[in-house]
Structure 1
Amino acid sequence: MAANGSPTIRRRRLGAELRRLRRAAGMTAQQVAGRLLVSQSKISLLETGRRAINPRDVRDVCELYEVTDQSFVAALMRMASESGRQGWWVAYGDVPYSVFVGMETEAASIHSYEPLVIPGLLQTPAYAAAVIRETNPHITAEEVATRLEVRLRRQHRAHHPARSLRLWVVLDESVLHRAVGTAETMREQLEHLHLLSAQPHVTTQVLAHGAGAHPGVSGQFSILTFPDSDGGAVYLERFTSDLYLEKPADRRPYQFMYDHLQAQALGPEQSREFIHDALRIHT
């Protein structure tokens, strides 16, 4: 069993395996909690990857589910042991969207639709600082600096020389017109975006206003895929809490939506020209 390197991914994949085993055993979470003398909420947290699990708990659960393949049990126990390791972002304290950072760290590809701002992985330092500061009215200067450092470190993954993240972004035209920070900040950002969109692992498409109503009017979303895995996740960013959809039936509509957005948007080369022309707006 291949395990992704991020502890976030390990916990979520391990939780998914435990949930599958429980259902195969024909047991409810309440029944499992009663047999193991733990709370039902603990079982729920373990199965969703929101709580670390130790190898002994994995062994006990597998015995309860009557799993006889000991090599499979050993693989799950190793995953549990490795999932206790901390990701690099933990050193920065209570970072918002830390679950997403963990998933992003191990993703093979991300397809995003952004209706409001340039995606974090493509932001310049000045633009990123302005977004963080202006979208969080009560944030302190110290918090801005910390979040900015995390955001810039995330970008290392997007441009890793050995395993670059495949990034495909569809931007609403509004993103290019919205003045974030100063005019100089916007010029620098659009020049940076124009440059990055020429990279082989980055594809940018602009969804022009002339396209009319489209499947993305409901808001931002990102589709993540992972190496050595048939699964993936859809990430929906919200102000107070984020949502992750991992069931194939939940992910499928978003893939259909993204296909339509790509078809309605300008092609990559036309989009690069559109971005270059948008620089005149911020002179």
Structure 2
Amino acid sequence: MSWATFGRCPEVTRDGHLRPSDSSTQGRIRPSFPTISGAVGIGVLSPRRLVPQLYDALSSCNCTRGEVAVGQGPTTSRRRLGAELRRFREAAGMTLEQAADALECSVSKISRLETGKGLPKQRDVRDLTRLYGKDAEAGLERLLRMARDGSRAGWWQEYTPLLTAEPFVFDGADRYAALESEASSIKVFDMSAFHGLLQAPRYARQILEAVLPHHSGSELDSLIDFRMKRQEVLEREDSPLRLHQIIDESVVHRLVEMDPEVAVAQLEHVLGTMESDTVTIQVLPFSVGFVRALQGPFALLEFDDSVDQDVVFVETHAGASYLEGDFGVETFKGVFERTQAKALGRTGTEKLLRNALSTFD
């Protein structure tokens, strides 16, 4: 059963409950194409259904002007362009509907441009700047440069055409891979597996085989290649990605029950990765009891530039969604911080992992 059945989407209240949303721009769930995070390791596969407890917020963005950063990818350019277009529209006192009527296009087209989900065309940017007035027209060249950068293909797109769709589990990986490759840091909580950026090849294969039983060996090979390529963000020379994962202790217990060679290789890989200054791994022990994070896995993608809004990615068996906007993102930041405080520190985590490794001696 999907929220489309009701003709409207739910809204998350401040106390964490759901209520039907109105037509406002906040509190909407929209279809997204993310991935199976727990079992597959975030950022590779995606269902088509919606996560009923999340919304893809279209909240206001307090963005500032600025030149496009050197080396940014197409997704960052689209998000910045969208934030600027929204700022100019609101400064002109226009609604989405008014802008769409003036350009004789759909409201969804304007909305997708403003949220960085639509492919920007230079003609659309020119038309919108003329519509929004002198301030927008003064920044036209900068906006056109963002549009050009946002139209480029990302490195991950050479992989996605190779992958066969599987309902509710598998779809385009573009959006998450794009955000991941351009984020400055990612904070992850998971209860089923190590994050895709921390997976050794054979461990990744066993997980993918379990989650995608109908995929061919060549398709799984492509997915594993894709995952290994994604891991390069941890070693890039210019500002390597900072990764902080908290795993439930059950992840370690399930790992030691896997094929011994796979388990040993994965444990050694994780312990080696922990030596990096930019990677932090913590284990949430059973002894702490229940914590709020155990309600489900999530990834918080953070961006250094103030123009780029942080994003939360969450998924379940029924689907996944991206959450943007101050309230939603801050909620997950708080959940992560409280979980971090209860999880084992570096020494305790390393000891637990080495104890697991010693069981294979």
Question: Could you say which TM-score interval applies, normalised by the shorter chain?
Answer: over 0.9
Name the structure 1 match of 2:95.
28
Q: Give me the whole-angstrom Cα distance separating, in 2, the residues matched to 1:138 and 1:159.
A: 33
Q: Which structure 2 residue ranges, 5 or more long, are not aligned?
A: 1-65, 164-171
Q: What SS is found at the alignment partner of 2:192?
A: coil
Q: Give me the whole-angstrom Cα distance separating, in 1, the residues matched to 2:125 and 2:359.
A: 58
Q: What SS is found at the alignment partner of 1:38?
A: coil
Counterparts of 1:1-283 in structure 2, within 5 Å, are 1-3=66-68, 5-68=72-135, 70-94=137-161, 96-179=172-255, 181-229=258-306, 231-239=309-317, 241-281=319-359
Deviations 1:119-140 (A, max 9, x none): 0001000011111121112222
Deviations 1:188-217 (A, max 9, x none): 101111111121111111100111111211
Q: Give me the whole-angstrom Cα distance separating, in 1, the residues matched to 2:312 and 2:302.
A: 9
Assess if the C-alpha contact under 8 Å between 2:300 and 2:313 holds in 1: yes
Q: Could you say what the CA RMSD is over the residues aligned between the two structures, in angstroms?
A: 1.9
Q: What SS is found at the alignment partner of 1:223?
A: strand
More relative contact order, 1 or 2 (CA 8 Å, 6+ apart): 2
Q: Give me the whole-angstrom Cα distance separating, in 2, the residues matched to 1:282 and 1:50.
A: 47
Name the structure 1 match of 2:51.
none
How many residues are aligned here? 283
Deviations 1:203-233 (A, max 9, x none): 1111001111112112111111123235311
Shift of 1:174: 0.8
Q: Give me the whole-angstrom Cα distance separating, in 2, the residues matched to 1:69 and 1:152.
A: 42
Assess if the C-alpha contact under 8 Å between 2:130 and 2:136 holds in 1: no
Deviations 1:86-119 (A, max 9, x none): 0011111346332111011111111111111010
Q: Give me the whole-angstrom Cα distance separating, in 2, the residues matched to 1:54 and 1:16.
A: 15
Q: Give me the whole-angstrom Cα distance separating, in 2, the residues matched to 1:209 and 1:185.
A: 24
Which stretch of structure 1 is more off in the superposition, 264-273 or 36-45?
A: 36-45
Q: Give me the whole-angstrom Cα distance separating, in 1, the residues matched to 2:320 and 2:152.
A: 23
Shift of 1:143: 1.5
Shift of 1:281: 4.8
Q: Give me the whole-angstrom Cα distance separating, in 1, the residues matched to 2:292 and 2:91.
A: 37
Q: Give me the whole-angstrom Cα distance separating, in 2, the residues matched to 1:74 and 1:198.
A: 45
Would the alpha carbon gap of residues 239 and 265 (structure 1) be closer, same or farther in structure 2, given more than 3 Å must change?
same
Q: Give me the whole-angstrom Cα distance separating, in 2, the residues matched to 1:33 and 1:74.
A: 22
Identity of aligned residues (%): 36
Deviations 1:130-185 (A, max 9, x none): 11121112222222111111100000111224422111111110111114751210
Shift of 1:256: 0.5
Q: Give me the whole-angstrom Cα distance separating, in 1, the residues matched to 2:194 and 2:360.
A: 15
Q: Which structure 1 residue ranges, 5 or more long, are not aligned?
A: none
Q: What SS is found at the alignment partner of 1:237?
A: strand
Normalising to structure 1: TM-score of the pair?
0.93
Normalising to structure 2: TM-score of the pair?
0.74
Would the alpha carbon gap of residues 239 and 76 (structure 1) be closer, same or farther in structure 2, given more than 3 Å must change?
farther
- Structure 2 residue identity aligned to 1:237: E
- Structure 1 residue identity aligned to 2:288: A
Q: What SS is found at the alignment partner of 1:222?
A: strand
Q: Give me the whole-angstrom Cα distance separating, in 2, the residues matched to 1:30 and 1:71.
A: 24
